[in-house]
Structure 1
Amino acid sequence: MKSGFFFFAFLFLGLLILPFTVTIAQEVQDEILTYRIKTKDGNEFIGQIILEDEEKIVLETEKFGEISIRKSDIQSRTLLSSSQVVNGQLWFENPQATRYFFSPNGYGIKPGETYYQNVWVFFNQFTFGITENFSFSAGMVPLFLFAGAPTPVWLNPKFSIPVVKDKYNVGAGALLGTVIGGGGAFGVLYGVNTIGNRDKNFTLGLGWGFSDGRIASSPTVSLSGMVRTGPKGYFLTENYIISTGFDTFGLLSLGGRRLISNVGLDYGLIIPIMTLGDGFFFAVPWLGFTVPIGKK
């Protein structure tokens, strides 16, 4: 009976996300070279360079039309991607486009980039971009601060492969952990398929958990989505069907990501599905942030 409930719950989520995936698959964006020009007097302009010589550049902007800027007055010139500029307005870059709340998608971070993620103070994780297709994370829950309690630590190597650039990516990796001061090895082997770009995507994943040399006979299924809602916001959902071998239950989550300068603030609710069948409902709040600390 519960299995049927889980099936229809995930079917509903799939139908909810389907319009976004259809839109994603149909989007074709032309590459337009758009720049952000910062001048030494503190002004900032966004537009396309239509003329450049040794002394000046002429910028075509959405707000001011054509403006001429002397090169001696320019503090910096940054090339922006087409997704960063909407109707002449700068949309902040997603500081954690490779993950939802926690689970990864098929995208990877760029070589040399690093970001730090914290959830409810105790969960700490750093992610490093090594190559265009490989990254790894290292994390810890520092319980040793409480009278030397056993402390979980983990590594997470991940490969990301663009099948169709900015439209379809696949990824594979492993979360490899242990508990310092007690307990053995644990982790997850996983693969993900992501449809869409870094601002609007949908991911189907499969993961096999293991502990003390034993691996799960049934995979955990994940269904996640991310949709940009404006210059500084995202809608996030991350959902699981988990089989323990004895029972099957689900986790649903809904929330968002708010961009504050270059920091991402994640918030939402996690809802265990198994409690619904017992006539009892509760939700666990999620609160975390992500800070990029590597080169851009």
Structure 2
Amino acid sequence: MIYMIFLSFLALNLAGQEKIEFDSTETVYVSTKDKAVYKGRITNQSDERISLQTEKFGQLKINRDDIREIEHDNGQSIKNGKIWHEHIYASQYILTGNAIPLKKGQGYYNNIWIFSNSLAYGITDNFSIGTGILPIIDFQNGIALPFWFSAKYSFPNKGKNIYFSIGATGLKLFNVDMPVLGALYGATTFGDKNLNLTLGLGVPYQQGYGLVKYPLGKISGAVRISKSTYFTVEGFIAGINPIENQEFGEGMLLTIGGKTGSKNISFNYGAILAMDFAYPSFIVGVPILGVTIPFGNK
């Protein structure tokens, strides 16, 4: 009996030591226990060591006992000796997104102040949809339920780090006698998920009225300042009409904030600042606190 138990533990131990085979054409990241990170292709592997072909250091032989982790190349980069994972939620600023697409099967859940809940999901590598709801309490008329749906198509990246997208969104308030609202928009993003600038233009829509005459402008950006933190800024200008009224716009909405987390979760924070150009000294500020949780293919 004791002999059988010993053989069982031995079999489990040998199974745990079984090496994982890697394709020699696949790029991987090898993290060692001394906190070094190497990028390359595993050209040979045995029970004791692996051979890693790198561009910077040539052929490296690394003992398996010295390896902490081996990761497949999924868009990561190495900064200051650390792996910066590509975050799905980098396609989203605090309130709106950019032209960088979600890949097929990628999605995320976004929450702001508990009440605002939204989802986004990549149907293909270039087409994604989103939906959300935000309960609003009106002490006279009860609870209003704004529900919105959006769709975005990002054109294949023709240039280096230049993305174009078009999209539409619609909003309906339930329990309130109010027409359907929406917008058609286009955006261009320069950069990548770690550093980008987005310029956009949208035309609002109102049921029974049609497209609004004057568009809504947007300029947004994000910079990744560490492995886990992004700094973001969004600016929206309403009623752009420099020809007839000789004015740049009617008002501006500005968000300043950040996103801190990992590839599995992001904590979002910042403030919304609103200003009416007719009263430029009057600024209203509202704090933002939320969370984004990716799901699907990461």
TM-score scaled by length of structure 2: 0.75
Q: Which residue does 2:221 correspond to in 1?
A: 225
Q: Name the count of aligned residue pairs.
A: 259
Partner of 1:271: 273
2:269 corresponds to 1:251: no
1:295 equivalent in structure 2: 297
Amino acid at match of 1:48: K
Q: Distance in 1 between matches of 2:240 and 2:144?
A: 24
Residue 28 of structure 1 aligns with which residue?
Answer: none
Counterpart contact for 2:133–2:145, Cα < 8 Å: yes
Do the aligned residues in 2 keep the contact of 1:166 with 1:197 (CA within 8 Å)?
Answer: no
2:156 aligned residue (150, 154, 162): 162
Report how far residue 68 of structure 1 moved: 2.7
Instruction: Decide whether aligned partners of structure 1 residues 250 and 87 sit closer, same or farther in structure 2, where only a CA change above 3 A counts.
Output: same
CA distance in 2, matches of 1:192, 1:234: 21
| Greater C-alpha radius of gyration | 2
Q: CA deviation at 1:50?
A: 5.4
SS of alignment partner, residue 162 of structure 1: coil
Counterpart of 2:167 in structure 1: which amino acid?
G
Please show how residues 1-296 of structure 1 align to structure 2 within 5 Å.
Answer: 35-37=28-30, 46-49=37-40, 51-53=42-44, 55=46, 56-59=49-52, 66-69=61-64, 77-81=71-75, 84-143=77-136, 149-182=143-176, 183-214=178-209, 215-243=211-239, 248-260=250-262, 262-274=264-276, 277=279, 279-296=281-298
Letter of the aligned partner of 1:68 in structure 2? N
Cα distance in structure 1, aligned partners of 2:50 and 2:159: 32
**SS of the residue 2:155 aligns to:** strand
Q: Which amino acid aligns with 1:172?
A: I
Q: Aligned equivalents of 2:162 and 2:41: distance in 1?
A: 33
Relative contact order higher in (CA < 8 Å, ≥ 6 apart): 1
Give 5+ residue unaligned stretches, structure 1. 1-32
Give me the whole-angstrom Cα distance separating, in 2, the residues matched to 1:88 and 1:60.
Answer: 18
> Which residue number in structure 1 is paired with residue 15 of structure 2?
none
Q: Which deviates more, 94-103 or 128-137?
A: 94-103
What is the alpha-carbon distance in structure 2 between the residues aligned to residue 244 and residue 87 of structure 1?
A: 44
Higher helix share: 1
Q: Structure 1 pair 43/144, CA: closer, same or farther in 2 (3 Å)? A: farther
Per the alignment, do residues 140 and 123 of structure 1 end up closer, same or farther by CA in structure 2, a change over 3 Å counting? same
Say if 1:160 and 1:170, in contact at 8 Å, map to a contact too: yes
SS at match of 2:279: helix
Letter in 1 for 2:188: N
Match of 1:12 in 2: none
When structure 1 is superposed on structure 2, of 148-157 and 51-60 the one drifting more is: 51-60
Alignment deviations for residues 53-89 of structure 1 (CA, whole Å, 9 cap, x no partner): 3525234799xx752328xx998642243x5221321
Whether contact under 8 Å (2:134, 2:145) holds in the other structure is: yes
Q: Match of 2:156, SS?
A: strand
